[in-house]
Amino acid sequence: MSQYVTRFRRSGAAQGRLRFPGSPRRPRRVAMLSVHTSPLHQPGTGDAGGMNVYIVELAKRLAAINIEVEIFTRATTGALPPQVELAPGVLVRHVDAGPYEGLAKEELPAQLCAFTHGVMQAWAGHRHGHYDLVHSHYWLSGHVGWLAAERWGVPLVHTMHTMAKVKNAALADGDTPEPAARVIGETQIVRAADRLIANTAEEADELVRHYEADPGKVAVVHPGVNLERFTPGDGRAAARARLGLPQDALIPLFAGRIQPLKAPDILLKAVAVLLDERPELRSRILVPVVGGPSGSGLAKPAALQKLAARLGIADVVRFHPPVGQDQLADWFRAASLLVMPSYSESFGLVAIEAQAAGTPVLAASVGGLPVAVRDETTGFLVDGHEPARYARVLREFADHPHLVDSMGDAAARHARSFGWDTSASATADVYTAALHDHRRHVLSLHG
């Protein structure tokens, strides 16, 4: 069994293995649900982000160990084929549920009935027992998964990714709180799921503390990183040449969805503080922001550009649209450091991706980021969101350029322990335990 799966008890995280008698089998085929965002969408804009990467990479690695995956997601254009083979053993099924375009995530609860109907239609075309297990992602999918699992007589495994109570406890200024309906929905899913997968021990503890999850049903599985794509490659200088970036500049990079939760404004304010204190650095600093508006950031898509102008740093900030994973790896290689001042992160996949590419990370000490980043070894963790604190770290990198390479080397070594193969193996162990317990429960009912 994988060392990356841990079981929880009331007293908190306890290192250990999932244990069950006999020789339970792994599932042959899993129905994976992602209602609000498609694994085929470009991460970094709209509602597409780390969860999209998580689902794609996990599904591919599960298929590689002979667990077929069918991913159900909402169709967002009529031009999409009903199904797309994402990789051998991984099928994406597009479900018609509501209008193709112009439907915000907040409006999707009204379409869950239609989405469930589409899932059931797909299932009706198969023999009994086609799916061995349902794995839902995010609370909207959890409600569909709850019904599907009960109808099919299979276990439900759920991954939260984010939680309303946790997000509401750490809102950015001006951000919109998650509604009470989501809190109620999440509570119902926690109660219904056979297993809950948490990214970190802290997230598992939050499930128990905020949602009264049964600790025996919570397993910790760290997300992974594509170690073939995110590598130091041919180095920082070559990546900067490809992207047209100055070779000798300090380049603190923001990469991700532009919304208050991710706090790109903190980076801009920190740069403004730094340049007020050290105006001579203006000629050798460049701040790329790679990503698109998302969530509550959609209401003011130009807010970050206006902030840069108001702070007097528009000349050193460059805005770039979201890019594919291969080009994103080049941005990570080119950067001096990745900056993640987020208010909440269940894990923060981009932190591991950047480190795998040989780049240190400056991050807020929230959520899973203290697991992803080794403070003062592969980067720096900052308590709170005071721009001056981030400015101090930027100054360290400006005054000690060797930190970029020394911390970057340590970061690449650290990231190598987060491969997706390990995550998939650990997830398969959770599936196996869920199947075993579910079968045992069914047998007890008919005993």
Is 105 a known ligand-binding residue? yes
Is 203 a known ligand-binding residue? no
Is 162 a known ligand-binding residue? yes
Is 149 a known ligand-binding residue? no
Provide the sign of the torsion angle of the four alpha carbons 117, 94, 293, 51, taken in this order: positive
Is 343 a known ligand-binding residue? no
Is 257 a known ligand-binding residue? yes
Is 49 a known ligand-binding residue? yes
Is 163 a known ligand-binding residue? no
Is 259 a known ligand-binding residue? no
Is 47 a known ligand-binding residue? yes
Is 90 a known ligand-binding residue? no
Is 186 a known ligand-binding residue? no
Is 396 a known ligand-binding residue? no
Is 440 a known ligand-binding residue? no
Is 48 a known ligand-binding residue? yes
Is 42 a known ligand-binding residue? yes
Is 182 a known ligand-binding residue? yes
List binding-site positions for UDP-N-acetyl-alpha-D-glucosamine: 42-43, 50, 257, 262, 323, 345, 353
List binding-site positions for Mg(2+): 332-333, 335, 359
List binding-site positions for 1D-myo-inositol 3-phosphate: 36, 47-52, 105, 138, 162, 182
List binding-site positions: 36, 42-43, 47-52, 105, 138, 162, 182, 257, 262, 323, 332-333, 335, 345, 353, 359
